[in-house]
Structure formats: structure tokens, C-alpha cells
């Protein structure tokens, strides 16, 4: 049994609207492999970065691409042509390419105005590295996700004639790029863009020099910021600058010795997660699949905690995607294989539910409907025959909850070692 395209479009008003708007393209896309359709759209976005005449043109290209890939990803996932992991990776790749095309356009225009020397009037040579954090960093974006971006620049690259203008110039470029991503037009939007994960966002410019960033993290960085940088990757812009920065930041993120203050911070982060959500019974109707008990956030927190504890001594644990990290932890005998399998299975089930909740109306929701009839719509799009089947992961979420209650992993390791 598989979900038909007709069932999907009948259930999801947002997707039905996209299918009507992109009817000719969508009909052609259904005749080729989803990977091929995705690659063609991404190539068009790259071309637009090099060729768009003005901001209105690049904005239109980016938004049309977002609509098409949103439709493609939903159709491919729900009808079984893609897994949820493939769908989240496709959305993440779109974010990377859209950011790069937007930056390419902005740097090209800066070069045409004479603000930037010709060899650097492009994204790759710009001296500005854009880092994807969170789910974007792990190539795990959900269907209606924000992207968390941090922008750092290398002031030693001779991009500008006056190096003292670097902070002002790159901050303005970053602001315009965020607007290209998230401003709503008649063609929609690309991605809501959050720039607040940079150091001390209340008092710093939108783009910081790599020296300023390193000074902050090495002197004032918090453990929650260490956890945030586990998934960070240079997603767009000057990736040489980005890779060099990550190499320099590694000793801050991946400490070889775990101190009591770090363990206390981990416990404090766990308490804050508990405080910030509506704690109740694990159920289906009205359950928050991200923040609720046994949900996505708890799996991510448990995984990143183990990486923080052990990743300084074991480089094999320094991986970004959540389920790849779980597999690495099991391979290193840091957690049990069954624990890894249980968490991975539950994670992707909940991510699939989350995607279907969001694709119905392009809403950033993580909450299951309150009525059995509405839950049945989600179950149908999950290719589950009835409500009881949709409730199957409740037992697995109890396992998640137990692990979250012991974030440092003492109980897990005792059980694994037979103690």
C-alpha cells in the first residue's frame, strides 16, 4: 500500500495550490527520478545567481525554486519515492544553493558598483563564510523550517579597498541576503532566516570577523553554544574561510577532558528544556512531536550530549546528522546498538509526522491535531492504515524519555557494560 498523489493533494491545501501554480513543471517532474528533478532546479538557481539582472529577478527565481522543491519533496516523500531523510536533505540543499546564489548576486552587484575588487566579486571569493547551524547544518531541515545562519568574514582578504569598512560592508550584505531569503512577495518566501545564534547577538553586528568570533568563543562561549556548533558547517560563501574557522574552533567544541562545570551545564540545559515545554502524558492527539515527552528535541539532546562528552577524545563521533551520530556512538561502543536503533527509528518516524503536519498548510507546527479524524489524515499520509498504527511509536518514545532523564548517559553505559 502506498499513498497516492491524489490523496496527498486532496489532504494538503498548500500543496494543491503549488501543484496548480507549477502544473506544467510538476507534470514533467513526475516523469523523471526525484533526484534528477531536484538537480535541475538547483542548477537553475545557481544560474540565476550569476545572471539575474536585478534584485526582483533573483528574488523571483529563488521563490519559484522553493515552491517547486517543496512540492517535489512532499510528493516524493509521501508517495514513497524518497525517504524522510532524502526529503530533509533536499530541502537543506536548496537552502545552501539559494544562499549561495543570493550571495553571488549581491557580490556581483557590489563589484559592478566598484565596492569590491573584481576577483572577489563572487560568493566563493567573497571572504564571507556562511555557517548553517541546527537542522540545516545536519542537512535535516523540516518542511517549514527556519534556517539558522551565522556570518563570519576574513578581514585579511583584500576584498575591499578599505579594510576598516569590512564589518559595515559584510553586515549589510548579510542583512540583504536574509531579506532575499525571507521577505514575502507575490511569489512567497524562500526560508525564514534567523541570525541570532552569532556571538552576543544583542550587541554585535550581523557579520563578525573570524578573530572576533574566536575571541568570544574561547573566552565567553557557553556549553549550549558548543552544542550548537556540533552541527555547524560552511554552507555557502567562502568555504575556505569557513573550513579554516572550524579547524580553529575545534578545540573549543571538542574538549578532551570533561569537567564538572560542563556536566552541571548539561543538567541545567535538560532542566530548561523541561521548563520550556508543556509536560504531560505521551499520547497522540495534541502531542508535540518536537518538544513533547519522548520527542525529537529529547533525541537530539541525548545525542549531542554524548558527542560533547566523548567527541573530544574520539574524532569518529564528530558527525553532524543526528542518526549518523547515533550510529557512530554505537560503533564506538559508547551507547548500545539497540539504543541507537530505537532512537533512529523513533527519530525518523517523528520527523516524518512533523513533515506531514507542516506540508498541509506550510505551517511551522509540531503539534498533532486534537481529534481522531484529523489525526487520521496524518496517519493516512504516513501510509498507516488507522489511528492505532499511528500510535505505535508511543512505546519507543518511553525509551527516549528514559534516556533523556539521564543525559550524561551513566545508566546507559552501566547497562551496556552489564553493571
Give the tens place of pLDDT for each residue, 203-256. 999 999 999 999 999 999 988 899 999 999 999 999 999 999 999 999 999 998
Average pLDDT, the chain: 90
| pLDDT band at 407; cut points 50, 70, 90 | low
Check residue 59 and give its pLDDT: 99
Per residue in 244-272, pLDDT (tens digit) is 999 999 999 999 887 556 777 777 766 66
For the chain, the first-to-last Cα distance in angstroms comes to 45
pLDDT at position 389: 54
Using the structure block, give the residue that is written with the C-alpha cell 550524561.
Answer: 408
Cα–Cα distances in Å, from 416 out to 334, 360, 408, 419?
A: 9, 42, 14, 8
Does the pLDDT at position 110 exceed 90? yes
Task: Please say whether the beta carbons of 123 and 49 come within 8 A.
Answer: yes
Angle between helix axes 337-359 and 322-331 (nearest 10 degrees) is 180
The per-residue pLDDT for 116 is: 95
Domains of the chain are 5-253 (3.30.460.10), 260-417 (1.20.120.330)
Residues 225, 322, 277: CA angle, nearest 5 degrees: 65
| Range from 5-9, 131-135, 398-402 carrying the lowest mean pLDDT | 398-402
User: Model-level pTM?
Assistant: 0.93
pLDDT of residue 104: 99
Rounded Cα distance between 345 and 358, Å, is: 20
Q: What is the pLDDT of residue 387?
A: 46
Amino acid at each position: 500500500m502506498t499513498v497516492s498523489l491524489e490523496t496527498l493533494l486532496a489532504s494538503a491545501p498548500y500543496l494543491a495550490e503549488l501543484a496548480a501554480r507549477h502544473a506544467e513543471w510538476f507534470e514533467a517532474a513526475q516523469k523523471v527520478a526525484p533526484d534528477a528533478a531536484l538537480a535541475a532546479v538547483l542548477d537553475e538557481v545557481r544560474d540565476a545567481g550569476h545572471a539575474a539582472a536585478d534584485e526582483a529577478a533573483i528574488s523571483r527565481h529563488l521563490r519559484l525554486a522553493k515552491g517547486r522543491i517543496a512540492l517535489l519533496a512532499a510528493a516524493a516523500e509521501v508517495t514513497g519515492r524518497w525517504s524522510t531523510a532524502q526529503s530533509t536533505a533536499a530541502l537543506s540543499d536548496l537552502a545552501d544553493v539559494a544562499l549561495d546564489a543570493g550571495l553571488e548576486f549581491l557580490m556581483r552587484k557590489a563589484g559592478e558598483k566598484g565596492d569590491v575588487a573584481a576577483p572577489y566579486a563572487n560568493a566563493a571569493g567573497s571572504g564571507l563564510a556562511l555557517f548553517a547551524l541546527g537542522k540545516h547544518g545536519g542537512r535535516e531541515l523540516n518542511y517549514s523550517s527556519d534556517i539558522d545562519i551565522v556570518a563570519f568574514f576574513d578581514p585579511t582578504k583584500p576584498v575591499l579597498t578599505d579594510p576598516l569598512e569590512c564589518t559595515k560592508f559584510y553586515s549589510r550584505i548579510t542583512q540583504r541576503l536574509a531579506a532575499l531569503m525571507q521577505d514575502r512577495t507575490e511569489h512567497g518566501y524562500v526560508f525564514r532566516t534567523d541570525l541570532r545564534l552569532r556571538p552576543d547577538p544583542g550587541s554585535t553586528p550581523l557579520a563578525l570577523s573570524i578573530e572576533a568570533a574566536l575571541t568570544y568563543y574561547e573566552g565567553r562561549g557557553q556549553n549550549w553554544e558548543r552544542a550548537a556548533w556540533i552541527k555547524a558547517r560552511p554552507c555557502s560563501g567562502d568555504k575556505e574561510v569557513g573550513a579554516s574557522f572550524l579547524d580553529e574552533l575545534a578545540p573549543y567544541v571538542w574538549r578532551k577532558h570533561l569537567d564538572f562545570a560542563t556536566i552541571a551545564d548539561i543538567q541545567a540545559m535538560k532542566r530548561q528544556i523541561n521548563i520550556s515545554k508543556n509536560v504531560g502524558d505521551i499520547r497522540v492527539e495534541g502531542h508535540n512531536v518536537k518538544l513533547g515527552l519522548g520527542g525529537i528535541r529529547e533525541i537530539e539532546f541525548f545525542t549531542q550530549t554524548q558527542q560533547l562528552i566523548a567527541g573530544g577524545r574520539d574524532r569518529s563521533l564528530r558527525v553532524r546528522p543526528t542518526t549518523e551520530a547515533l550510529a557512530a556512538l554505537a560503533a564506538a561502543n559508547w551507547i548500545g546498538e539497540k539504543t541507537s536503533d530505537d532512537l533512529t527509528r523513533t527519530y525518523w518516524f517523528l520527523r516524518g509526522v512533523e513533515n506531514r503536519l507542516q506540508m498541509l498548510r506550510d505551517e511551522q507546527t509540531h503539534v498533532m491535531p486534537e481529534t481522531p479524524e484529523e489525526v487520521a489524515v496524518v496517519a493516512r499520509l504516513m501510509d498507516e492504515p488507522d489511528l492505532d498504527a499511528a500510535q505505535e511509536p508511543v512505546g519507543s518514545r518511553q525509551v527516549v524519555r528514559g534516556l533523556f532523564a539521564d543525559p550524561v548517559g551513566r545508566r546507559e553505559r552501566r547497562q551496556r557494560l552489564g553493571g
